[in-house]
C-alpha cells in the first residue's frame, strides 16, 4: 500500500499539515525521532 505522511506536530522544515510524499523522505522520517510527529495516510489508487 502506498502512503503519504501528514505532519501533526511541526519539526525541522515541516509545518503542521504539511504532506510528505517522497518515498525516501517518508522512510527517513519514519526511521527518525520525528516518526511520532506524523500520521500515515493511504494514497488513493484511483
- Check if the beta carbon of residue 14 is closer than 8 Å to that of residue 20: yes
Cell of 23: 518515498
pTM of the predicted model as reported, rounded to 2 decimal places? 0.88
Kindly indicate the confidence band of residue 46, based on its pLDDT and cuts at 50, 70 and 90: low
Angle at 38 between CA 37 and CA 40, to 5 degrees: 155
pLDDT per residue as tens digits for the range 1-45: 699 999 999 999 999 999 999 999 999 999 999 999 999 999 876
* Integer Cα distance of 29 and 17 in angstroms: 15
Instruction: Give the pLDDT of residue 1.
Output: 62
Amino acid at each position: 500500500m502506498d502512503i503519504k505522511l501528514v505532519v501533526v506536530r511541526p519539526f525541522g522544515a515541516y509545518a503542521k499539515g504539511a504532506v510528505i510524499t517522497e518515498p525516501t523522505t517518508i522512510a527517513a522520517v519514519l526511521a527518525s525521532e520525528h516518526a511520532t510527529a506524523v500520521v500515515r495516510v493511504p494514497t488513493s489508487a484511483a
